[in-house]
Structure 1
Amino acid sequence: MTTTTPDIDVIRARTLAGIAHGFLGRRGGVSTGLHAGLNVGPGSEDDPAAVAENRRRALQVILPGTTLLTPYQVHSADAVVVTAAFADHDRPHADALVTNRPGLALGILTADCAPVLLADRTAGVVGAAHAGWKGAIAGVTDSTIAAMETLGADRARIVAAIGPCIARTAYEVDAAFQRRFTDADPANERFFVDSRAGHHRFDLEAYVTHRLAAAGIGRVEALGLDTYADDSRFYSYRRSTHRSEPGYGRQIAIIGMMD
């Protein structure tokens, strides 16, 4: 389900109905030029003032009046329990945040990697994970679920949604990449299809869905939105690379609970 508020593209998952959340694209921001739109990446080459305003706007349409927290993402499997707001310079080096504290909005930045939002409504616990291929195979979603359980969540009740990410049609990888996955589990071959000689196309969304289901999450919604294919709606690292552009923007996924 997609709504626009105002001019900002907010994509919501049915699985997370009743939980304040949203997967945002690039529409509705103040950045210009290469980063035109709602670029929320402080690590991009964009004007810091524009990034700050975009982050303010993103928070306003999802959880106004709360504090937006994002980790310093490092493509790891690390998930951090958050009990209080932290300063930007104290951002944990991790790829997932979880909390049970109202007033905190958890955000994950992506530009082809899979954003995953999770919630246990009964326990009042939410999580946000950044699942690039490195974090996905290392188990970032498993770590997120385990961290949520330390706050009283039950994986039998946790629901999850996977937001916009690069689709298999655009995600060509070499044979060594495929071997990392098939060496970990021969059954992972199903997430690849043959491409040109010595290359394959990888289905990141399907793999992350599989990892969540294998961890015991019974309701997983994959939104099936391709960041690479729609340059008017999403930022994409790989698309920018293929175009030899000097930089790229980041979109954000946010989840949290109101006071």
Structure 2
Amino acid sequence: MHTWHWRNWQGMPYLTCSLLEPWSHGFFTHPFWPRSPEELTQVLQPEASVYRLKQVHGNTVLTPQEIESKLGKGSDDDSALASADGLVSQKALQAVWVASADCTPVLIGDVKTGQVAAIHAGWRGTAKKIVPQAIARLQTQGSKLDDLRIAMGPAIAGEVYQVSVAVAAEIGSSIISHDDENTIVDALHELPDSPLIADNEPGKVKVDVRRVNTLQIERLGISGEQIAIAPYCTYQTPEHFFSYRREQQKKVQWSGIVSVGNSIFT
């Protein structure tokens, strides 16, 4: 079983996952707000260069080189950031960051190449298969599926995430191929360890977005042993995490990971 550990920095807690032990990484909590990824990288690996995005709930995945060619380097202003929801490193000492406040932050490391990825997987990004997209980018850079280690951080849990049947079907269409909403939802309910939970309200259902991401990843041929899911719900853990659904405020927590050279694994 993969273990999650609380770490402390200047009295503030952040989470790490045993699956990602080779990399400096963290799923940060709300006391770190409003520190920027540049400041948080000092906690993880002060020598690393820092990359973040203007997140738009899509499935675009960029590399640092693509960001720099689009924008020129170095700006903390959102208007000057590249629009995407996933980042894949290309060399050692690149810190990649995503922000979330109910959406799923996903951090990936490759134990052979040392490459990493950070992904913001909300329901829209999940419906558009952003995590498989990021994995495909890693594969184009030499990653093998067996070498990937994937940790999903704190996010809203299925039992409190009520959505419309239409939204559930849009998310579900990423793993069930069908045009009819009700057919997709019925098929999802029948899956073992279903990502859906029935809801008493007509036209509504509850959905576990992290479970849908897990199913997408497993369908690529990645084993469950390579995936860890944080045992925390942003909505139900107000002492540690912002939740947009709970507070309706645009505050976030950051999740980041720093790439290493393949020499540390060889």
Q: Normalising to structure 1: TM-score of the pair?
A: 0.83
For 2:41 and 2:228, the matched residues in 1 are separated by: 23
- Match for residue 254 of structure 2? 252
Q: 2:74 aligns with which of 84, 87, 95?
A: 87
Q: 2:246 aligns with which of 233, 239, 251?
A: 239
User: For each residue in 1:164-193, what CA deviation from the matched residue of structure 2 results, as whole angstroms up to 9, or x when unmatched?
Assistant: 000112201122222324455134332111
The 1:183/1:250 distance shift into structure 2, 3 A limit, reads closer
- Match for residue 25 of structure 2? 21
Q: How far does residue 82 in structure 1 lie from its aligned partner after superposition?
A: 2.0
User: For each residue in 1:132-177, what CA deviation from the matched residue of structure 2 results, as whole angstroms up to 9, or x when unmatched?
Assistant: 0110111100110011112211112111000000011220112222
For 2:221 and 2:21, the matched residues in 1 are separated by: 20
For 1:145 and 1:97, the matched residues in 2 are separated by: 11
For 1:13 and 1:204, the matched residues in 2 are separated by: 19
Runs of at least 5 residues in structure 1 that lack an aligned partner in the other structure: 28-37, 40-50, 242-246
- Whether contact under 8 Å (2:51, 2:64) holds in the other structure is no
- Match for residue 60 of structure 1? 42
Q: How far does residue 105 in structure 1 lie from its aligned partner after superposition?
A: 0.5
Q: How far does residue 90 in structure 1 lie from its aligned partner after superposition?
A: 4.4
- Match for residue 200 of structure 2? 196
User: For each residue in 1:25-59, what CA deviation from the matched residue of structure 2 results, as whole angstroms up to 9, or x when unmatched?
Assistant: 112xxxxxxxxxx22xxxxxxxxxxx3x4544422
- Whether contact under 8 Å (2:105, 2:255) holds in the other structure is yes
Runs of at least 5 residues in structure 2 that lack an aligned partner in the other structure: 177-183, 262-266
- Match for residue 244 of structure 1? none
Matched residue SS, 2:241? coil
Aligned length: 232
For 1:144 and 1:249, the matched residues in 2 are separated by: 25
Matched residue SS, 1:232? coil
For 1:182 and 1:147, the matched residues in 2 are separated by: 23
For 1:179 and 1:92, the matched residues in 2 are separated by: 30
- Whether contact under 8 Å (1:105, 1:256) holds in the other structure is yes
Q: Residue type of the partner of 1:129?
A: I
For 1:183 and 1:104, the matched residues in 2 are separated by: 34
For 2:172 and 2:242, the matched residues in 1 are separated by: 29
For 1:3 and 1:162, the matched residues in 2 are separated by: 17
The alignment yields a C-alpha RMSD, in angstroms, of 1.9
- 1:95-244 correspondence runs (5 A): 95-184=85-174, 185=176, 186=184, 187-189=187-189, 190-198=194-202, 199-218=204-223, 219-241=226-248
- 1:36-47 correspondence runs (5 A): 38-39=32-33
The 1:183/1:98 distance shift into structure 2, 3 A limit, reads closer
The 1:118/1:183 distance shift into structure 2, 3 A limit, reads closer
- Whether contact under 8 Å (2:172, 2:212) holds in the other structure is no
